[in-house]
A and B are shown apart, each in its own frame.
Chain A
């Protein structure tokens, strides 16, 4: 416990804490749309797809965001295009694309000396090495994502609930779908410094799922998901300091624990 308290005194830890709160909150809120549109597999796939972009970005000295987001978005569009071909079903298309992307990332990385160390940073995050510039980027990107979701909130919920109705009303349904996929992909990339690509799935699916156990309404669910995401980030970080284990892992596990508790409470309440 004293380790944790000591950590608070350290600058890097405080930065990590702020990052954890922001990433958790943004991912939690975006996660509600992942839930409403049944996108968990897409998120898992994208967590692989953004990987080569992140690798390229880092190798070229460009922001990880730019690299990950560009490749991730390109892949998202590719998946949408492939999915509309009738020969290949969605999940196969996603599986092929994701494994291919990951292989490219691994390939590029393996060609570099010192590959192993960098690899784990991408895959499982290294939140304790974030600097102020990273925080600013996260804050700005996070704000943009949340604004987009807020601006199109009612249309996005309608589109998730009744895509036919959305189109019948005259809205550009496919465009809105693509907007959501892009938002989710960018949110994924935002999570990379904190928890890495593979565990970003956790922040983008679990807090929203936990929030769902408490409420039936999308508005409160979003707020709760953001809160639970932020909480997972903070608690997870403290746990990682206390036990000297990877923060990405403890953050993901904290989120899961919060979900299990929520599910348990709901089941108990439903039975009584």
Chain B
């Protein structure tokens, strides 16, 4: 057990990967509790798909991936804010306006952005390999600079969430009350979308665009199963994410080293998260019976 948990990290790249996973897990966990409160899982999924063309284009042009992803995410956030606030006027079929509901609009955005990314990537040779790197990330190749970027951006997001904690919670629990009290509802929406988008952007290089949603949704859901209070859930979620991320990463290393099976590291982490959620769910059900 000790070897399993500690040996891999004597290697530089594994050590960096572990730090990255723990940082991302913590960030995802805290953001994820807010996402769960607002039922924004779909939005997270949307952002995770829409950053793909940003990354794809950046990759194709040879730029660093972060700005590309950030640009795409910013575009998405802009569209989202427009959709949700202008929603009533634009999209309720009250003339003039197209007949589109929020979920459908999001689906169109996801599909079309993703298609752009696919088309861009397919223009290059070696398309398949590039595609999977972009889609599934390469956590074991993460550089020191990238870890620092994750820490800085992640830290910034956490600070923003901490400062606005009670406002965001009120907004989630009772939107009309929040507006009545004079909170700038649209601005707060934009902040939350922006933080979610930033989380996705920062996670995407390491984890890939396909598995990011698990970082934001699963540990947070596990935390909420374990405790009712919101700060408690955040702490539990972060703890769970850190521990399970560590275990998942170790499992991937173990498999490739000692059993000669290549298991993608991002995937093992997500599976560890999912099993953790299932275990918490089962424990909860059992405790109810007791």
In their complex, do chains A and B touch, with some C-beta pair under 8 Å? yes
- Which A positions have Cβ atoms within 8 angstroms of B? 35, 38, 40-41, 43-45, 48, 87-92, 94-96, 98-100, 102-104, 106-107, 110-111, 115-117, 119-120, 123-124, 198-199, 201-202, 205-206, 209, 212-213, 244-246, 248-253, 255-256, 259, 262-264, 266-267, 270-271
For residue A40, which residues in chain B have a CB less than 8 angstroms away from its CB?
Answer: 103-104, 106-107
Measured CB to CB, the closest approach of chain B to A112, in angstroms, equals 8
Chain A CB within 8 A of B98 CB: yes
**Using Cβ atoms and an 8 Å threshold, which residues of chain B touch A262?**
98
Whether A99 and B108, one on each chain, are in contact in the complex, defined by CB atoms closer than 8 angstroms, is: no
Q: Top 4 nearest A-B pairs by Cβ distance?
A: A99-B214, A202-B111, A263-B98, A40-B107
Select from chain A the residue with minimum beta-carbon distance to B122: A246
Of B37-45, B64-72, B153-161, B233-241, the segment with at least 4 beta carbons within 8 Å of chain A is: B37-45
B-chain residues with CB within 8 Å of residue A266 when the two chains form the complex: 98-99
**Is the CB–CB distance between A106 and B211 below 8 Å?**
yes
State the CA gap A106–B209 with chains docked (Å). 13
B119 touches A246 (CB 8 A): yes
Contact between chains at B132 and A88 (CB < 8 Å): no
B127 touches A92 (CB 8 A): no
Interface centre among B101, B116, B129, B210 (most CB of A within 10 A): B210
Question: Which residue on chain B has the smallest CB distance to residue A198?
Answer: B114
Known contacts A92-B36, A245-B123, A270-B97; is A259 also within 8 Å of B108 by CB?
yes
CB distance from A195 to the nearest CB of B (A): 9
Q: Contact check: which of A45, A94, A115, A206 meets B108 at CB < 8 Å?
A: A206
- Which of B2-10, B170-178, B191-199, B258-266 touches A? B258-266
Query: Which residues from 106 to 140 on chain B have a C-beta closer than 8 Å to any C-beta of chain A?
Result: 106-108, 110-112, 114-119, 121-123, 127-129, 131-132, 135-136
Known contacts A103-B214, A106-B210, A209-B104; is-contact A199 B118 (Cβ 8 Å): yes
14 A-B pairs with CB atoms under 8 Å apart are A35-B104, A41-B42, A41-B103, A44-B45, A87-B224, A89-B36, A92-B221, A95-B218, A96-B221, A99-B214, A99-B218, A102-B211, A103-B270, A199-B115
With a CB–CB cut-off of 8 A, which chain B residues contact A99? 211, 213-214, 217-218, 270, 273-274
With A98-B45, A110-B136 known, 11 other A-B pairs at CB within 8 A are A92-B217, A99-B273, A100-B271, A103-B214, A111-B261, A117-B128, A205-B108, A206-B111, A246-B119, A249-B116, A253-B112
How many angstroms between the C-alpha atoms of A250 and B221 in the bound complex?
Answer: 36
B142 is an interface residue with CB less than 8 A from chain A: no
The interface residues of chain B, by DSSP majority, are classed as: helix
Given contacts A95-B213, A98-B213, A106-B211, A201 and B264 within 8 Å (CB-CB)? no
- The answer to whether A270 touches B267, judged by C-beta atoms less than 8 angstroms apart, is no
CA of A246 to CA of B117, assembled, Å: 10
Q: Tally chain B residues at the interface, Cβ within 8 Å.
A: 63
Q: Verify A252–B44 contact, CB threshold 8 A.
A: no
Which residues of B (245-290) have their CB < 8 Å from a CB of A? 261-264, 266-268, 270-271, 273-274, 277, 284
Q: How far is the CA of A255 from the CA of B277 in the complex (A)?
A: 37
Assess A253 versus B119: contact at CB under 8 Å? Given A115-B132, A116-B128: yes
Q: In the complex the two chains form, is B112's CB within 8 Å of A95's CB?
A: no
Q: Which of A95, A102, A255 has the most CB of B within 10 A?
A: A95
Name the residue on A nearest B43 (C-beta): A91
Give, as a whole number of angstroms, the nearest-CB distance from B130 to chain A: 9
**Roughly how many angstroms separate A237 CA and B31 CA in the complex, as a whole number?**
40
- Across-interface contacts of B210 in A (CB, < 8 A): 48, 102, 106, 198
Q: How far is the CA of A249 from the CA of B284 in the complex (A)?
A: 43
Measured CB to CB, the nearest residue on chain B to A271 is B96
- How close is A225's CB to chain B, nearest CB, in angstroms? 13
